[in-house]
């Protein structure tokens, strides 16, 4: 897998939806960047579809029991593995068939959502906080602080992402969700740091920052009350898109056997397990793969929609 | 130009030292012991273990080990010895590296040709059917994790249609590597296509394009010279860091198609805690990354005459 977080700026694609005339009239009233972005998002079908999918995924994450009555971890060997998927029985344990230990593939797909979504969200939060802080300090203070922090960032950037994460994970014998989050965040923060640094360098020359300084505002106040709200847009865009990428990375690591470990239910592990039976029982492999791809797709689409809404160039 | 390159090379030294030191520390603070691992479940007496550790230099403080290791690389091109097999790491690299280089190189070519082609097709017709098809297609490719894509390619083309063999033989001929290379390059291909599409669609609206059209230049020249040259910079930036990423990311693809490249070696050395082998392989990847980013910076000057390196 190519280095996942080093996604170069993914181009913006959906054309900004043409605002209908009534909206233009309403827009005369001054709106903030965020108000504007929200108006834009509501009319973007990328956003509507991805937000719908994400709401469902979050529901499954929070209440997997609502979607299936079967247990993902206990199986009945009577159902040993060749149980053909019964696609007409929507939502029943036998919907997607059974795996080698007689566990319902549907229940495992449902319960596997939790690991993926939690890892994606937690890693994104962690890298945004840490990378954002490093980037902000480096951009605002410049000089030797910048040289030091940028050097630090470049060192982490030179490490291949997946390989680094594999080495970190190998250090833990008991690999819970939080260990995986730590490994991905440990190597993933560089992109946000660079974006944040660039944005802060541009904005710190602005008049309003000079004015705040002239009025005697303290450095933390300037940083968090004046600069931060104005550099959030590019950071949010990068963070949303990378959420999908981290979910994909977690699945890849689990697939390699270096990510999550049983009894945590994870799509990556199930796909890896199913790959051994690819010739005889493809359903074990197919359904977690479909669910994984849909989840990644939902978050990447959301990121694109948010970028189009926040990027003034697409207006 | 010469002075710029020299300065860049000097600037690479701290990054190189930092990255290799980081991976060194990460590997050597791992729990587990490669020497003990040699003896299996039975174990050996402590004196033998201590003697072997001493012989391998593993009883030294970490920074001393790092210093000795780097001295070996720089002075004698000696990347250490693989503990399990006793082979020099350069030998192991010599076997595995050409295969991965061929695989990543093919993926890279596929990525450039198809990615640029699709991106141009979409960018020149922004907002029309071709554009939308390319956008949806690339979005799907980005969303499907590489190992899932590998299984799709394997089951369709190897198992159902029988066009390719499911596993690559030990010779890893060019023909056999086509399918793995497509899988490996697919994600970057999608990024390249989208990046090309966006920059082209943006530049199409620029003043110099209008001037070129107004001068009555033929379309080939407008698109091929004026538009391409200006649109390529972000794409080149992406491509520059991508070759190294492809080689590092080959772990999954090589495992799927049974290619005997550095991916498998890296995986094995992580699981076995073979510090020297792992550090050696990653060092090579870091060198590739640093070299490519230098190359990209030099290419900027070729593409954009406004950028000059005095």
Q: CB contact, 8 Å: A244 with chain B?
A: yes
Please indicate whether, in this complex, the C-beta atoms of A162 and B249 are within 8 angstroms of each other.
yes
Q: Name the fold adopted by A33-314.
A: MetI-like fold (1.10.3720)
| C-alpha distance from A44 to closest chain B C-alpha (Å) | 15
Enter the pTM of the model: 0.83
Residue B40: the pLDDT is: 65
Residue B62 placed within a domain: no
CB contact under 8 A, B255 and A15: no
A206 secondary structure, DSSP code: S
DSSP code string of A220-232:
HHIIIIIIHHHHH
Closest among B82, B108, B16, B69 to B266, alpha carbons compared: B82
Q: Do A300 and B143 touch (CB under 8 A)?
A: yes
Interface touch B194/A271, C-beta < 8 Å: no
* DSSP structure string for B39-66: TTTT---HHHHHHHHHHHTTTS-HHHHH
Within a domain: B201: yes
Across the interface, whether the CB atoms of B246 and A155 are under 8 A apart is answered no
CB proximity A293 to B under 8 Å:
yes
Residue of B nearest to A150 (CA): B15
- Residue in A57, A109, A151, A167 to test binding to B, most B beta-carbons within 10 Å: A167
DSSP string, B14-44: HHHHHHHHHHHHHHHTSSS-HHHHHTTTT--
Q: CATH no. for residue B210?
A: 1.10.3720.10
Residue A124's closest CA among A48, A178, A188?
A188
Look at residues A30, A57, A55, A29 and name the one whose alpha carbon lies nearest to residue A267.
Answer: A57
Q: How many Cβ contacts (< 8 angstroms) between chains A and B?
A: 166
Q: What is the CA radius of gyration of chain B?
A: 24
Spell out which residues of chain A touch residue B143, defining contact as CB-CB under 8 Å.
Answer: 244, 293-294, 296-297, 300
Q: Is B243 helix (H, G, I), strand (E, B) or coil?
A: helix
Below-70 pLDDT ranges, chain B: 30-43, 56-57, 84, 172, 309-310
Asked if A1 and B145 come within 8 Å (Cβ–Cβ), the reply is yes
How far, CA to CA in Å, does A259 sit from each of A19, A84, A115, B24?
45, 29, 11, 21
Q: Is residue B249 part of a domain?
A: yes
**Which range marks the domain in which residue B143 is found?**
90-273
Please report the ipTM that was assigned to this predicted complex.
Answer: 0.82
Q: Do A255 and B151 touch (CB under 8 A)?
A: no
CA-based R_g, chain A, Å: 23
Q: Choose from A44, A109, A157, A160 for mutation: most chain B CBs within 10 A.
A: A160
Angle, helix B129-143 to helix B178-203, in steps of 10 degrees: 130
What pLDDT is stored for residue A136 in this prediction? 92
Scanning A44-104, the segments in alpha helix (DSSP H) are: 45-62
Token reading at B280:
């050696």
Q: How many CB atoms lie within 10 A of CB A42?
A: 12
In a domain, B281, yes or no: no
Chain A positions touching B188 (Cβ under 8 A) are 2
Using an 8 Å CB-CB cutoff, list chain A residues near B15: 151, 154-155, 158
CB-CB neighbours of A233 under 10 Å:
18
Instruction: Check the CA dihedral A211-A216-A218-A224 and report its sign.
Output: negative
Contact B252 A168 (CB under 8 A): no
Q: Is the torsion defined by CA of B259, B260, B263, B268 positive or negative? A: positive
**Would residue B148 count as lying in a domain?**
yes
Contact status of A29 with chain B (Cβ, < 8 Å): no
Which residues are CB-contacts of A81 (< 8 A; sequence separation ≥ 6)?
A: A98, A99, A100, A101, A102, A277, A281, A284
A219 CA to chain B: closest CA distance, Å? 31
In A249-288, the residues whose Cβ lies within 8 Å of chain B are 251-252, 255-256, 258, 271, 275, 278-279, 282, 285
E-strand spans in chain B? none
Maximum C-alpha span of chain B? 85
d(CA A244, CA A222): 33
Contact A160 B245 (CB under 8 A): yes
CA distance A88 to chain B (A): 24
The answer to whether residue A32 neighbours chain B at the CB level (below 8 Å) is: no
Q: Identify the CA nearest to A237 among candidates A21, A30, A12, A52.
A: A12
pLDDT at A130: 94
Number of domains in chain B: 1
Q: Does residue B254 sit within a domain?
A: yes
Looking at chain B, which residue has its C-alpha nearest residue A258?
Answer: B271
Residue of B nearest to A151 (CA): B15
* CA of A99 vs chain B CAs: smallest distance (Å): 18
* CA nearest neighbour of A270 among A29, A20, A149, A97: A97
Would you call A79 helix, strand, or coil by DSSP?
Answer: helix
The answer to whether the Cβ–Cβ distance between A1 and B14 falls below 8 Å is: no
Question: Dihedral sign, CA of A166, A169, A171, A173?
Answer: negative
Instruction: Answer yes or no: do A11 and B198 touch at CB < 8 A.
Output: yes
| Local confidence pLDDT in tens for the 315 residues of chain A | 344 444 444 444 444 444 444 444 444 556 777 777 788 788 888 888 889 999 999 998 888 877 777 777 776 666 665 556 666 666 676 777 777 777 777 888 888 888 899 999 999 999 999 999 999 999 999 889 988 998 889 888 888 888 888 888 887 777 888 889 999 999 889 989 989 998 898 888 888 888 988 998 888 888 888 888 888 888 888 888 889 889 989 988 888 888 888 778 888 888 888 777 777 777 778 888 899 999 999 998 888 888 888 776 554
Residues in A 152-211 with any Cβ partner in B closer than 8 A: 152, 154-156, 158-164, 166-168, 170-171, 173
* pLDDT confidence of residue A15: 44
Contact B80, B276 (CB under 8 A): yes
What does the block give as tokens for B99? 């295969």
Q: Which residue of B has its CA nearest to A9?
A: B195
Nearest CA-CA partner of A179 in A190, A167, A189: A167
Q: Which of A14, A15, A159 has the CB atom closest to B22's CB atom?
A: A159
Would you mind telling me the total number of residues written for chain B in this entry? 310
H-type helices in A63-142, by residue range? 105-141
Q: Which residues of A touch B22 (CB under 8 A)?
A: 155-156, 159
* Token representation of residue B256: 């799927």
* Among the partner residues B154, B194, B245, nearest to A11 by beta-carbon distance: B194
Asked whether residue B188 is domain-assigned, the answer is yes
Which chain B residues are closer than 8 Å to A156 by Cβ? 19, 22
B9 in a structural domain: no
- For chain A, give every domain's residue range: 33-314
């Amino acid at each position: 897998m190519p280095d996942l977080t080093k996604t170069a700026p993914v181009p913006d694609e959906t054309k900004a939806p043409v605002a209908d005339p009534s909206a233009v009239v309403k827009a005369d009233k001054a709106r903030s960047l965020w108000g504007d972005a929200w108006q834009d998002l509501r009319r973007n079908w990328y956003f509507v579809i991805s937000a719908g999918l994400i709401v469902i995924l979050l529901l499954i994450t929070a209440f997997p029991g609502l979607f299936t009555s079967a247990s993902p971890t206990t199986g009945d060997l009577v159902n040993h593995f060749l149980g053909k998927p019964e696609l007409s029985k929507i939502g029943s344990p036998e919907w997607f068939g059974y795996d080698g230990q007689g566990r319902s593939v549907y229940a495992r797909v449902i319960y596997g959502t939790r690991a993926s979504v939690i890892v994606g969200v937690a890693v994104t939060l962690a890298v945004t906080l840490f990378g954002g802080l490093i980037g902000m300090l480096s951009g605002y203070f410049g000089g030797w602080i910048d040289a030091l922090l940028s050097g630090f960032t470049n060192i982490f950037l030179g490490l291949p992402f997946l390989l680094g994460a594999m080495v970190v994970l190998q250090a833990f014998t008991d690999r819970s969700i939080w260990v995986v989050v730590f490994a991905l965040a440990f190597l993933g923060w560089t992109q946000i740091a660079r974006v944040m640094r660039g944005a802060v360098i541009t904005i710190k020359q602005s008049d309003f920052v000079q004015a705040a300084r002239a009025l005697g505002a303290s450095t933390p106040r300037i940083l968090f009350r004046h600069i931060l709200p104005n550099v959030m847009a590019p950071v949010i865009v990068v963070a949303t898109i990378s959420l999908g990428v981290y979910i994909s990375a977690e699945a890849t690591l689990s697939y390699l056997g270096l990510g999550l470990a049983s009894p945590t239910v994870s799509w990556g592990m199930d796909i890896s397990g199913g790959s051994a039976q690819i010739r005889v029982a493809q359903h074990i492999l197919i359904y977690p793969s479909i669910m994984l791809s849909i989840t990644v797709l939902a978050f990447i689409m959301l990121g694109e929609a948010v970028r189009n809404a926040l990027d003034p160039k697409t207006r | 130009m010469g002075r710029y390159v020299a300065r860049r090379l000097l600037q690479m030294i701290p990054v190189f030292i930092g990255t290799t030191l980081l991976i060194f520390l990460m590997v050597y603070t791992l729990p587990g012991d490669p020497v003990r691992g040699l003896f299996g479940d039975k174990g050996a007496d402590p004196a033998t273990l201590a003697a072997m550790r001493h012989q391998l230099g593993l009883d030294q403080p970490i920074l001393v080990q790092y210093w000795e290791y780097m001295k070996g690389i720089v002075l004698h091109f000696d990347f250490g010895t693989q503990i399990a097999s006793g082979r020099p790491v350069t030998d192991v690299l010599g076997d595995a590296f050409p295969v991965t280089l061929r695989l990543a190189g093919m993926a890279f070519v596929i990525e450039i040709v198809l990615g640029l082609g699709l991106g141009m097709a979409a960018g020149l017709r922004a907002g029309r059917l071709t554009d939308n098809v390319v956008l949806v297609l690339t979005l799907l490719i980005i969303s499907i994790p590489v190992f899932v894509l590998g299984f799709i390619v394997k089951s369709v083309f190897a198992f159902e249609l029988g066009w390719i063999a499911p596993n690559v033989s030990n010779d890893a001929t060019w023909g056999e590597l086509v399918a793995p290379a497509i899988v490996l390059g697919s994600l970057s291909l999608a990024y390249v296509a989208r990046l090309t599409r966006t920059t082209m669609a943006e530049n199409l609206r620029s003043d110099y394009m209008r001037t070129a059209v107004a001068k009555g230049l033929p379309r080939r020249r407008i698109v091929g010279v004026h538009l391409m040259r200006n649109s390529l910079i972000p794409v080149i930036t992406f491509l520059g860091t991508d070759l190294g990423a492809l080689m590092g990311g080959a772990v999954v693809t090589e495992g799927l198609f049974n290619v005997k490249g550095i991916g498998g070696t890296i995986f094995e050395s992580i699981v076995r805690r073979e510090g020297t082998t792992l550090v050696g392989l990653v060092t090579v990847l870091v060198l590739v990354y640093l070299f490519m980013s230098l190359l990209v910076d030099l290419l900027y000057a070729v593409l954009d005459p406004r950028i000059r390196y005095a």
